[in-house]
Amino acid sequence: MEKYFGESTPKLGFGLMRLPKLKNGKTDIEQTKKMVDMFMDAGLTYFDTAYVYDSGGSEKAAKAALVDRYPRESYTLATKLCAWMGAHDEKSAKQQFYTSLERTGAGYFDYYLLHALQAGNYKTYDKYHIWDFVKEQKEKGLIKHWGFSFHASPEILDELLTAHPDAEFVQLQINYADWENPDVMARANYEVARKHSKSIVVMEPVKGGSLASPPKAVLDEFKKADSKASPASWAIRYAASLEGIITVLSGMSNIEQMADNLSYMKDFRPLDNQEQKVIQKAQEIMGKINDIPCTACHYCTSGCPMQIPIPEIFAARNQQTVWGQLEKGAQLYKDATAASGKASDCIMCGQCENACPQQIDVMARLKECAEKFD
């Protein structure tokens, strides 16, 4: 018998948000198929997508690479309904569920989530009666388990889990860099979820890929402890070692990333005490770096009236502040803004900050970037 819901689930999940792309920008289905095959051959089964990922490209890729090629009972599929993006009223929000069923062809969803609840949008799910809607779909057998993904304060999380005690799990951003981050509050949210006896799906364990290429001082600590282990392995194993974890989602973008993740997660071993001390040292180093904690989800860009490539601009600035590569950062900025808005074009409308799951002061950071680049 499981000690908690999802205990027996393999601890690596395949996040389908950042799939490999062809030169024309479309998803590389053939490479995705190979990655799905590698994942399934390793005995791993959890796949995660969402209605809003890549304008439906992710869900369609799930159909082509997974659903159409494997028996339905051999894997579990999660997707999400976003009431504040891709929807303008109750009808269009609920339609996302039916569209996801059509796109994936899955017949039902093993896990279904209310997507990216934040301080500025979580009441929309009440307004549109989405909580009751997903329960109705579960009663019909179209959803096996339901929960929500969350990007806000522990106080709001406690409020939601008190109001909705039948939510079966919560998806939280957890990584070693954000464990004590006052904007993300990973530790506090984790503790609230466990207080309510909720199991957790981990998202952003590698923080949008940034922890796969951490600052040199962090990299040196990892190499000193284990010269063969990849930086991503430290991040993913850290999250998977916590109590109450269903699985840890990794948004793998190529076969090499898949192969690396499988090398240490096929037969997962939690971090031992000495490895935990290495992580603590990495946390100390990361806490002293003034990076922009952007995970490149691009939620901010879809509604930007000035078409500013905000994540790419922040990546260019981080290239300078984290890595000290001033010229490379400047070139990255030039390339990113060659055919779009610049940081100085920001009109301070604030839509980006309302959409940002990381609670970044986007407008202030853009002003900083404008002063350095424009």
CA geometry: angle at 330 spanning 327 and 331, to 5°? 90
Query: Average pLDDT of 100-115?
Result: 98
Residue 299 located in a structural domain: no
Flag whether 291 is in a domain: no
Q: How many domains are contained in the chain?
A: 2
Domain assignment present for residue 213? The answer is: yes
Q: Looking at the structure, do residues 255 and 360 belong to the same domain, yes or no?
A: no
CATH of the domain at 236: 3.20.20.100
Q: Is residue 304 part of a domain?
A: no
Please check whether residue 88 lies inside any domain of the structure. yes
Range of the domain at 139: 12-286
Shared-domain flag, residues 228 and 275: yes
Structural domain contains residue 302? no
Read off the pLDDT of each residue in 104-117 and give the average, rounded to a whole number: 98
Q: How far from 41 is each of 31, 44, 45, 97, 328, CA to CA, in Å?
A: 15, 7, 9, 29, 40
**Are 244 and 194 contacting, i.e. CB atoms less than 8 angstroms apart?**
yes
**Residue 284 region by backbone torsions, left for phi larger than 0, else alpha for psi between -120 and 50, else beta:** alpha
pLDDT tens digits, 82-94:
999 889 999 999 9
* Residue 305 maps to a domain: no
Q: Are residues 202 and 254 in the same domain?
A: yes
Does one domain contain both 279 and 329?
Answer: no
Enter the pTM of the model: 0.88
Regarding whether 247 and 335 lie in a shared domain, the answer is no
Query: What tens digit of pLDDT does each residue of 159-217 get?
Result: 999 999 999 999 999 999 999 988 899 999 999 999 999 999 999 999 988 899 998 89
pLDDT tens digits for range 27-77? 999 999 999 999 999 999 999 999 999 766 999 999 999 999 999 999 999
Question: CA-to-CA distance for 219 and 231, rounded, in angstroms?
Answer: 7
Of 156, 96, 154, which is closest to residue 121 (Cα–Cα)? Answer: 156
| Residue 329 and residue 236 share a domain | no
* % the chain with pLDDT above 70: 99
Same domain, 116 and 219: yes
324 & 252 share domain: no
The 10 Å CB-count burial string (b at 16+, else e) for 199-227 is: bbbbbbbbbbbbbbebbeebeebbeebee
Pair (81, 230) in one structural domain: yes
Residue 195's pLDDT is 98
Q: Are residues 239 and 336 in the same domain?
A: no
Asked if residue 132 and residue 228 are part of one domain, the reply reads yes
